């Protein structure tokens, strides 16, 4: 693919701001500036590209590192010809202008624009994505984020239980299951376990469809003392152990 009578714009994207650099077909600078990552900022970016190039969106080729995301989708919706390049390839193209390794948003945006003008073969033209696919991507990203957050909270929950109520930790490999949380809300401490009624626990297990434990066996487990190893780990160290442990402190 080769364009004629078009302008080239490189967009160096980031989480907070995006930097754009525009060149005409001969490589002359048309303008450059940064834009905030927001709804208003993306609208301003598209309007700036139209004004500085003085061309219709279908005559403006835009280069960017990422093939997806809000910046790409907004520019594509505006009608621009958006192309993506591999970040490693961009590193090689950057070496034409400087060998310094420092990050420079303005330079990267310029390299994106100029390399599109001279080496468009390294870029991949991005076709518009169906809205359903975009929605599925967002749902998938949300599921990943929520799963990671659930794991973090479950590990914190387990750490706290191990400190004062380790019997609950042994009930399941997944400490964030609904029935574990319901049981913990009903029996939050060992003292509550000693006063819990069998019938109430049986109803909870039946409602949560838990068949691994009966109400009687569950209460026996929850009322049990900590293991001997756990109790031993809580005992204060002997004077001999203290002195030996300090012997190697520098």
Single out the residue of 11, 20, 84, 18 nearest to residue 52, CA to CA.
Answer: 20
Sign of the Cα torsion 144, 150, 153, 156 reads: negative
Q: What is the domain partition of the chain in residue ranges?
A: 7-128, 133-227
pLDDT per position as a tens digit, 73-113: 899 999 999 999 998 898 888 888 877 666 788 999 999 99
pLDDT per position as a tens digit, 216-227: 999 999 998 654
Q: What was the pLDDT predicted at 140?
A: 92
68 contact partners, CB below 8 Å, separation of at least 6? 129, 137
Look over the chain and give the mean of its residue pLDDT values, rounded to a whole number.
Answer: 84
244 contact partners, CB below 8 Å, separation of at least 6? none
In words, the CATH class of domain 7-128 is alpha beta
């Amino acid at each position: 693919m080769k364009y004629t009578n078009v302008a080239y714009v490189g967009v160096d994207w980031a989480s907070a701001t995006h930097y754009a650099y525009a060149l005409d077909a001969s490589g002359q600078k048309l303008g450059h500036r940064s834009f905030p990552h927001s709804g208003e900022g993306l609208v301003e970016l598209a309007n700036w590209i139209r004004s500085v190039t003085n061309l219709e969106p279908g005559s403006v080729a835009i280069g960017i590192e990422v093939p997806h995301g809000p910046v790409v989708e907004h520019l594509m919706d505006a009608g621009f010809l958006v192309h993506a390049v591999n970040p490693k390839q961009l590193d090689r193209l950057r070496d034409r202008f400087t060998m310094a390794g420092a990050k420079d948003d303005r330079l990267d945006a310029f390299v994106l624009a100029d390399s599109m003008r001279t080496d468009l073969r390294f870029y991949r033209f991005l076709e518009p994505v169906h809205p359903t696919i975009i929605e599925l991507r967002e749902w998938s990203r949300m599921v990943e984020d929520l799963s990671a957050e659930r794991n973090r909270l479950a590990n914190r929950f387990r750490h706290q239980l191990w400190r004062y109520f380790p019997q609950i930790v042994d009930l399941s490999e997944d400490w964030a299951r609904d029935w574990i949380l319901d049981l913990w809300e009903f029996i939050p401490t060992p003292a509550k376990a000693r006063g819990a009624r069998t019938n109430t626990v049986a109803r909870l297990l039946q409602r949560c469809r838990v068949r691994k434990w009966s109400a009687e066996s569950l209460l026996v487990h929850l009322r049990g003392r900590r293991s001997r190893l756990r109790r031993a780990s809580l005992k204060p160290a002997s004077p001999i152990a203290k002195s030996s442990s300090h012997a190697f402190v520098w």
